[in-house]
Structure 1
């Protein structure tokens, strides 16, 4: 399994005194370091300019984060699992993983980033402000600029495996599995409205996070009654779209979230797999919540 996540907009700075960024220690360094250096340099220059907020597409309230972009090499760094915050990451609990699930996340999860290209949850990075949708002077449109390096970093890793894609369209544009090389499955969250299934944005990130956490923790889950796990359950990461569907099916009937404010909880009612429509498009794992 290669599980792809978007970064979060919100980021938690590393504690003061933590060691700074070490580019050579990041995953995929052979393929990605040169582009990471180029983007870091361009970002620092832009962030020090008068039109930084316009170029980066951020408001004046984020002035401190933009200013931090000018000195990222010296900023304290922390595991990406703790730097990235937000609904998906809270639901997945990546920062809390230990033992086998943590090792699985380091190997199987890649967080796509406009600055780093792709990092694992264990990679140590500083907090920063840069979206993949930015057209960065000196580099160009980041989704385009990262395609070659990300291909070199991810193509071989994805080959023969299942790619579980929880990214938004902006990040999908930066890298897609080569047609026929891997089973590519995007995750869609829906509700049933007047007898028809409709895509939802509210609760979708949380539900994808719950699925992410489940896929990484499955071998640490309690056994079923009688001391054995169901035959449909696997003790390893899914290696195919059908195994991914089986894994998602293990969550059917369970409460996967509680809405902030109302306190209303919602349950995963069904998990289905819709085949790819074309050779170059992904299959879709559809998760029905209510």
Structure 2
């Protein structure tokens, strides 16, 4: 398995692969790989001839310097896991200067309002950073397909909007959320939880399941108030937001409309660790 630290040799290898009519897949990650990432890699390996896993902790999508500093960096272990995952893998692990040059800053994007709600509302500039790094990776790697997890569903929709806006010829593939045995969505941030927090954080998924059940008979306002009450009485978890939103526009629901699909989204803190999750509330295409 080849590990590339610089753009130039990677681009040359990609040109060679494409000259042999190989399909290129990309799995963008920030490292600290876990089974959730590996499920994306597995799906990419099934769909593509050559898969590139990027490992880069992107500074421009963090609005909290402490969060950036604490984000786990485990490159050697990540490479070991990927070697076990398949032979058609390359790793791209650049420095910030390699990708950004001397000016490590975000472009500004307009994603038709997708960036202004939920994560965008609570994390200033986050999706400008996401758009910047994804666009740069697409320009460097020129993949045919790119694979993103549905745990970051808002990010997935924003990447789809980025493709629509830029016209970059990349097919975006959404992949199902992978969960721990207790239902907690797999995340690199889970490694920062202590044993009790990790156990109690399953409450997030349990709450989403109940919200889905209530969605069949109760109003969005009723469900929102119910979720808030559950978190208000929780001894460890603190709710940042709960939203029920249209799957396509991410607009907050006023009332259910026939033919629309909806998701419930949660962001909550366990100690100083921020966790997000979501669930489909009705059938999606």
Does the pair score TM above 0.5?
Answer: no
More helix as a share of residues: 2
Higher relative contact order (CA 8 A, sep 6+): 1
